[in-house]
Amino acid sequence: MTQNKSYFEGLFWGVKTLCVGLKTTMREFFTKKITEQYPENRKELKMFDRFRGTLNMPHNENNEHRCVACGLCQMACPNDTIKVISETIETEDGKKKKILARYEYDLGACMFCQLCVNACPHDAITFDQNFEHAVFDRTKLVLKLNHDGRKEKRSLDMGSTLETVVFYFLAAFIIAMSIMTVTTQRIVRSATYLLFVLFGTAGIYFLLGYTFLGSVQIMVYAGGIVVLYVFSILLTSGEGDRAEKLKRSRFFAGLFTMVAGAAIILFITLKHNFLQTNNLAPQEINIHSIGHALLSSDKYGYILPFEAVSILLLACIIGGIMIARKR
């Protein structure tokens, strides 16, 4: 009897599970289909807004784009997918200007991280929703984004104008602080003005796109060397010490040396034939290459000057300690 009961219970549960399955099947059979019938629905298919298909450079009805060939997208790309080629032209007012000559984008190497789009300060590039990238030749994945006969959007000259204004401001600031450094009679104030000079120089580096040099300028020179100067001044001078008044002979000797040095620098600058290049985008060397060059004993290594500077700094530290102990 017990065996028959277990048999009928199994049969009942089997029929029940079959009905549950049929119920699910019939419900899905009458549910609206969500499967995309590609490529039949190619015309109606629309991707979601955040989809990253292909990098492109929008042009307006006048065939103008927003790219100023700054190279920030190229530096931000982790796969070297972007190659910005620029050229220098002469404007109507006789000034030289850098413009975009060719913008190459390797779709086959792109990982669609969008770092290039985020790095662009002018919104010159964006991702569209095109996802059909199948080709038989990889070279066809290298795309030229700027159109032939294109030109920059004139309203975007404000970016270069702002950079010029910032450059002239930093240059005037550095010159003013440099003059105050060598003319003030308070030696502590002189060190403070020198600190401002180093900050202005770091600003020039950041403006040119050399972030590593700017960071080193702030951390090593402004944050280390000037602090060392201030400590040395405080340890070797009394409160209220002033610089000695120069004699007339020393004043004229210093003035002559300054004028002669400025004349030599101006002569070298005007007579030097600077190399012309079509790619003016900043190309910053990575930290690994800099470290290898500093500590390398190869032909172009800097291990000997690096060690010489280390010994010189060590001698300065020992000298400062000896002077402090005598005081």
Q: Could you list the pLDDT tens digit for every one of the 327 residues in the chain?
A: 555 557 778 778 888 888 888 888 888 888 877 777 788 887 777 788 888 889 999 988 888 888 888 888 998 898 889 999 888 887 777 677 788 889 999 999 999 999 999 888 888 999 998 888 888 988 889 999 988 765 555 444 445 578 888 889 999 999 999 888 888 877 778 888 888 888 999 899 888 877 878 888 888 887 777 777 777 777 666 655 555 666 778 778 888 888 898 889 888 888 876 655 444 445 556 667 777 777 777 766 778 888 888 888 888 788 878 877 776
CATH for 118: 3.30.70.3270
Indicate whether 267 belongs to any domain.
no
Counted domains in the chain: 2
Q: Within this chain, do residues 204 and 147 fall inside the same structural domain, yes or no?
A: no
Q: Looking at 152, 176, 211, which one is the last position of a domain?
A: 152
What are the distances in angstroms from CA 304 to CA 127, 216, 275, 291, 296? 49, 20, 29, 14, 9
Asked if residue 121 has a cis previous peptide bond (ω within 30° of 0), the answer is no
Quick one: pLDDT at residue 112? 92
Indicate whether 40 belongs to any domain.
no
Q: Looking at 152, 179, 204, which one is the last position of a domain?
A: 152
Residue type, 321: I
Q: Within this chain, do residues 213 and 320 fall inside the same structural domain, yes or no?
A: yes
Instruction: Report the C-alpha gap between 114 and 111 in whole angstroms.
Output: 8
Indicate whether 146 belongs to any domain.
yes
The tokens of 258 are what?
Answer: 């300054």
Quick one: pLDDT at residue 287? 67
Indicate whether 142 belongs to any domain.
yes
Q: Within this chain, do residues 76 and 215 fall inside the same structural domain, yes or no?
A: no
Q: Within this chain, do residues 102 and 119 fall inside the same structural domain, yes or no?
A: yes
Indicate whether 36 belongs to any domain.
no
Indicate whether 302 belongs to any domain.
yes
Q: Looking at 93, 117, 152, which one is the last position of a domain?
A: 152
Indicate whether 182 belongs to any domain.
yes
Q: Within this chain, do residues 60 and 140 fall inside the same structural domain, yes or no?
A: yes
Q: Within this chain, do residues 202 and 300 fall inside the same structural domain, yes or no?
A: yes
Could you read off the pLDDT of 216-269 as tens digits, one per residue? 888 888 777 777 777 777 766 665 555 566 677 877 888 888 889 888 988 888
Q: Within this chain, do residues 73 and 139 fall inside the same structural domain, yes or no?
A: yes
Q: Within this chain, do residues 120 and 203 fall inside the same structural domain, yes or no?
A: no
Quick one: pLDDT at residue 246? 66
Phi, psi of 295 (to 5 degrees): -110, 20
Q: Within this chain, do residues 203 and 318 fall inside the same structural domain, yes or no?
A: yes
Q: Within this chain, do residues 234 and 311 fall inside the same structural domain, yes or no?
A: yes
Q: Within this chain, do residues 137 and 82 fall inside the same structural domain, yes or no?
A: yes
CATH for 173: 1.20.120.1200
Q: Which of 131, 111, 127 is nearest to 42 (CA)?
A: 131
Q: Within this chain, do residues 61 and 172 fall inside the same structural domain, yes or no?
A: no
Range of the domain at 120: 55-152
